[in-house]
Structure formats: structure tokens, C-alpha cells
């Protein structure tokens, strides 16, 4: 388990790099943290480092956003804040995405953890003060 504390948003590049280097073969990552902790922001930085081209936004209302790497491989970004039960994730075909072999980044993972078992890397984000964040993975 690694722990990184950062004091400014520009340090997210280091955190994203460390996550990808620590888990080079993993494809499913679940992000935990309170509202405003920075889940979307770190996912956007990870995607940037993976070569995503184009805009990246929070899928809060869409539930899932699909991004593409320069080579065309999709990356799936989920936000399960607004679902009522894991059944809602099943209705959108969530398991198909998980077993696609593509990167899957999940916000509000606690709402679908029963569907994941141990088959994901948890990334916990703690909001320490105005700018400081602790990342545990």
C-alpha cells in the first residue's frame, strides 16, 4: 500500500504516474472520497497520461463517459453517485465493461462494490485541508 500527500493540484501528475507504475497490469480502479475530494480530477490526469485525446468531464449525469487513447483503445469512466442500487449498474451492462480488458475508472465505488469483489484497485482520497490531499492505493 502506498500513501502520497500533495499540497497542490499540479502534483497530481506524480500521483497518477505512481498509480499507473504501481499497477501496470491492472485495468479496474475504484476511487473513494467525499464530494470534492478530487476523484474526477485524478481520473482526468490518469487518462491524460494514458494518452486520451479530447475533452474529459465528470459523468455524474451520464453515469459513464467513454474516452479514447491515441491508438483508439477506449477508457471507461463511471460515476455511480446517482444510482439507487447495484442493479442500476447491471442495467447499463457494467460487467461487460469490467471484463472488456480496457481501463475502467469508477467514482463512488462504494455504490457498486458488491459487483466488484476483489477485482479492482481501491484508490482512497482524503481531503486534508484547502489544497492538501492524501492518496492511498
Average pLDDT of the chain?
Answer: 95
pLDDT interval class at 126 (50, 70, 90): very high
pLDDT at site 54: 85
Smallest CA-to-CA distance from 33 within 109, 86, 129 is with 109
Which CATH superfamily, name and number, covers 3-136? Answer: P-loop containing nucleotide triphosphate hydrolases (3.40.50.300)
What is the per-residue burial (b if ≥16 Cβ within 10 Å, else e) of 82-121? ebeebeebeeeebeebbeeeebbbbbbbebbbebbeeebe
* 8 φ/ψ angles, rounded to the nearest 5 degrees: -145, 155
Amino acid at each position: 500500500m502506498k500513501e502520497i500527500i500533495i499540497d497542490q493540484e499540479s502534483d497530481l501528475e506524480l500521483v497518477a504516474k505512481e498509480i499507473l507504475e504501481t499497477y501496470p497490469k491492472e485495468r479496474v480502479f475504484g476511487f473513494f472520497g467525499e464530494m470534492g475530494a478530487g476523484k474526477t480530477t485524478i481520473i482526468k490526469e490518469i487518462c491524460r497520461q494514458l494518452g486520451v485525446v479530447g475533452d474529459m468531464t465528470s459523468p455524474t449525469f451520464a453515469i459513464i463517459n467513454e474516452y479514447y487513447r491515441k491508438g483508439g483503445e477506449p477508457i471507461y469512466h463511471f460515476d455511480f453517485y446517482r444510482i439507487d442500487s447495484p442493479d442500476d449498474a447491471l442495467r447499463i451492462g457494467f460487467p461487460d465493461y469490467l471484463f472488456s480488458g480496457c481501463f475502467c475508472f469508477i467514482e463512488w465505488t462504494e455504490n457498486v462494490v458488491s459487483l466488484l469483489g476483489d477485482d479492482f484497485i481501491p484508490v482512497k482520497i482524503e481531503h486534508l485541508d484547502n489544497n492538501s490531499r492524501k492518496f492511498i492505493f
